[in-house]
Amino acid sequence: MTEEIYTGTVSKIIYRNDDFLIARISGGNQESIIKGSILGVKHGEEITVYGNWEYHAKYGKQFAVTRWERPMPKTDEQAIAFLASPLIKGCGEKRARQIVAHLGTNALEIIADEGTSSLTPVKGIGRKKAQKITDSVVSTFEVQKIIGKLLQYGITAKMAMKLYKEYESNAVTVIEENPYKLTELNLVGFHKADEIARNMGITPLSGFRIDACVQFVLKEKCFQAGHCYLPEDKLIEETLRCLNHNTDEKVTENEVIRSISNLEEKRILNENGFVYPKSLYENEVNLSWKLTKMQGSTRGGAVSSVEKHIKNYQKRHNVVLAEKQREAIRKLFEENLLILTGNPGTGKTTVIQAMIEIYRKLYKKDDIALCAPTGRASRKLAEVTGHAASTIHRLIGLQPGEDPEYSEDNPLPDQLIIIDEMSMVDVRLASKLMAAIHKNAKVLFVGDADQLPSVNPGNVLKDMIEGGIPNVKLTEIFRQAQESQIVTNAHRINQGQSLVVDENKNDFYFIHKENPKMIAHMLVKSAVRFVELGYALEDILVLSPMKKGPIGTIALNEALQEALNPAGSSKKEWKKKNTIFRQGDKVIQTKNNYDKDVFNGDIGTIEDIKTIKSDDETIDVMICDFMGEEVEYTKDQLNELQLAYSITIHKSQGGQAPVVIIPVSTSHYIMLARNLIYTGMTRAEERMVFIGTKKAMHIAAGNNKVAQRNTKLTERITTSINNKSIAKPAR
């Protein structure tokens, strides 16, 4: 199809996001709608667009833009308007008129060709100001050319802008030589970079391709399975499989081995045949060093009055602590590091409350910090202890792409740090947190070692326990907890036993259904019934082991949305790919957003969808309520949200709800594991409902084969302690 050209003035911007624009453009005695990757265009600006006409059901005939450019001004007034626009930094209308008066209509071309020397003769423009104006003019037209050049390879305008920020005027040269640079900037995955490379004519035997594939396979396998490293032979095998799939030109094993050697110390680290992504190696080594150093420090020292304080605490609160609970309190004051574990109903919260109160009696001036890996978990911790708590990220001031505010060189001021839901903490986050803690502080790690490990690499809680970090496991189930079928059955599942359901109680149900579609149907009916009984949407957690299939979260979200929040004339909605976001929907935040102050795992409700008008620009926003706080989203930010009528059991960690409903079916055979079911059912506070087959539940209870994660944290801790070797690792 022959590419067409259309020049006109932007008369109205209908919609825009970071990488897409729909606008009305007037030119050549016609007015049309254009759409495409058009960045930085303002109302009233003249542009030339290249592409083809097509028909849209809603907007009618419109021009689909493949590339675009700003034409050079043809008159003095056009040149002045361009220089005075927001595109040019440090130049208002008055200065723009001075420049055009001095340089003429071709001012922009002269500035681009001659640079700052063309501007310094203009009155009031010094070297710094001249540099700023020159840079703006050059980049405006340079970016335009770069975007146009890269679009033909399947690189979007948004990606091209990021490449320009990284490589400036060399962006096209760099990418045409090595398109796999796109993966280094996390703009695309390896397979997309491979496709772009083929479009450019890059040979499948390119060293750039092999290097990129080694890093891709290593990172993918580690982050998918929670590993910190891969054995070298496994990495070679998987890399060859990826490189030689669907190509006639085969990469050899020796070429992959050479690539691993070339990448050594730069991107990866090979420790005696165990290959790490370099960052994960550093995280693991630094974490083991800090744990060993703190365990060997001297602030512990038994406090003689602790026993008296324990007795006084029991009198004040009219409680009798179990021996294991008292042991945990004593150990906190004897050790600088302590791990407190226990299954539901064993009184972890009671112990934490006692520890905080006794610590304050003994160390009145010390600061105490409470934290957890997710927003939901930290709010729960604050709720049950009565003390302020934050996410680990917020505590240490960690934001994406930046170094944390607190570190070894600038440690936290707190002398006691309590970390809840430690099983969720991966090796990277644990390393940064421990680096931020003063070497003489006390740290209490709290968790349930039988729950699922972290989503990201590492198995930190388990590794610390096996590495010999002091720990106390609470085992006694208290009388009140014994009355809960949720607690007693959680313990039974954890011990590989079958469920025992007392139908005279109303806190635990098992509804037998064989067919996955019938399971899904009954699950929806159950959720509707709980709403009819007075439970709010946020009170009900529907958890599934998987995303796909008739009882996966995707299908369940659609069915539950239709049953609990059907479409209506008064309800506004947006569609993003295959998902409808409707007013009244329950949604979950899927990544940390520090600007909005919402975090991965936070669950909220869509309150409204409305249009905000500013000048000639119209912006649609979705307003969500998270814990009473209103948060705005534009359409291009919907990738941060998912429907949350049903979420995966992994996503539920750190949170709880009055009602939990879980499907159990042999159709999810691969996910029928004891720790998965145990984690899901321990989210329930009041009522737990399983829907499915006893056979599936029996398989899950009997499957205690936790997938082995490749880590060396335990080995590093024990080696350091046994050798009394705590040499500081290189940073």
Q: Rounded to an integer, what is the distance from CA 304 to the centroid of its chain?
A: 45
The Cβ of residue 333 has, within 10 Å, a number of other Cβ atoms equal to: 21
- Cβ proximity of 70 and 37 under 8 Å: no
Burial of 587 (0-12, 13-18, 19+ CB in 10 A): buried
**Category of 318 on φ-ψ map: left (φ > 0), alpha (ψ -120 to 50) or beta:** left
CB atoms inside a 10 Å sphere around CB 481: 18
475 is in an annotated binding site: no
The whole-angstrom separation of Cα 16 and Cα 7 is 20
**Is 520 within 8 Å of 551 (Cβ atoms)?**
yes
Distance CA 238, CA 156 (A): 30
Torsion of CA 59, 623, 12, 157, to 10 degrees: -80
Number of neighbouring beta carbons within 10 Å of residue 232? 17
Q: Within 13 Å and on the Cβ side, how many CA atoms surround 672?
A: 20
- Are 455 and 649 a contacting pair, CB within 8 Å? no
Cα distances from 653 to residues 246, 448, 494, in angstroms, run 40, 11, 17
- What is the arrangement of strands in the sheet containing 268-271, beginning at the earlier edge strand? 230-231, 274-277, 268-271
The reply to whether 347 sits in an annotated binding site is yes
| 273 marked ligand binding residue | no
> Using H for helix, E for strand and C for coil, what is the string for 636-690?
HHHHHEEECCEEEHHHHCCCCEEEEEEEECHHHHHHCCHHHHHHHHCCEEEEEEE
What is the distance between the alpha carbons of residues 37 and 716, in angstroms, rounded to a whole number? 50
346 is in an annotated binding site: yes
Q: What is the three-class DSSP state of 333? A: helix
Measured from the Cβ of residue 318, the count of other Cβ atoms closer than 10 Å reads 6
Check the annotation: does 349 bind a ligand. Answer: yes
- How many CB atoms lie under 10 A from the CB of residue 53? 11
Structure token pair of residue 131: 């540099």
Contacts of residue 350, defined as CB under 8 A and 6 or more positions apart, other chains included, come to 319, 321, 325
Binding residues for ATP: 345-349
Binding residues: 345-349
